[in-house]
Amino acid sequence: METRNNERTHTERGAGTLESERLEFAGGQGRIAVYPGSFDPVTCGHLDIIQRASRQFDTVIVAVLNNTSKNPLFSVEERRELLAEVTKDIPNVRIDSFRDLLVRFMRSQGARTIVRGIRSVTDFEYELQMASTNHQLDGEIETIFMMTNPKYSYLSSSIVKEIAKFQGSVKDLVPPVVQSALTTKFPGRPS
């Protein structure tokens, strides 16, 4: 049977070969997604997206952006450590950081999918612009939007930092290890 570009149909290949072909296509690593962000600090909303993405991809790389134009509360290393701690029970999640274009980082990791959480229409407008830009830079990169769990739809790292700064409770907003780290950054706040 003649096929275009030596491609064979699913039936011709046999169902048992699909997994190995998928792994071969991804350089033996399976489907790799990157969830980029500042994570300053990581919130329960971030963790929810990480957990959900980990069920959709073979590997999820949570990539901390090292943005030298911002003055973060936590250093890149601190953010990586906090993320490693809160994701330690998710075996297919890796923590990394980058300071270059996201598409270059993705190429270096063999990843083709960006995962982004969407809380609102405002988020969508910004994320659509970023997704379009990344796709323009590398046409093989796709962005997957995950709707935020409604209970975290208002939550952001900026809100968490503001509440912690003024000694408010962040107990239900961040994982316990992040709550402890915030206590260190803002002494005198309640546990």
Which of the residues are catalytic? 46, 70, 119, 157
Establish if 146 belongs to a structural domain: yes
Helical H segments across the chain, by residue range:
10-13, 18-25, 44-54, 76-86, 102-109, 121-137, 157-165, 176-185
- d(CA 146, CA 4) in angstroms, rounded, equals 35
Q: What is the pLDDT of residues 53-74, one digit of tens each?
A: 999 999 999 999 998 778 899 9
Give the DSSP per-residue string, 27-48: TTS--EEEEEE--TT--HHHHH
CATH code where residue 149 lies: 3.40.50.620
Establish if 103 belongs to a structural domain: yes
Establish if 68 belongs to a structural domain: yes
Q: What is the mean pLDDT of the chain?
A: 87
Angle at CA of residue 123, ends 91 and 114, nearest 5°: 35
Residue 25 has pLDDT above 50, yes or no: no
Q: How many domains is the chain partitioned into structurally? A: 1
pLDDT number for residue 24: 43
Q: Lowest mean pLDDT: which of 19-23, 76-80, 175-179?
A: 19-23
Q: Which domain holds residue 34?
A: 28-153
Q: Lowest mean pLDDT: which of 2-11, 63-72, 132-141?
A: 2-11
Confidence of residue 83 (pLDDT cuts 50, 70, 90): very high
Residue 21 has pLDDT above 60, yes or no: no
- d(CA 12, CA 6) in angstroms, rounded, equals 12
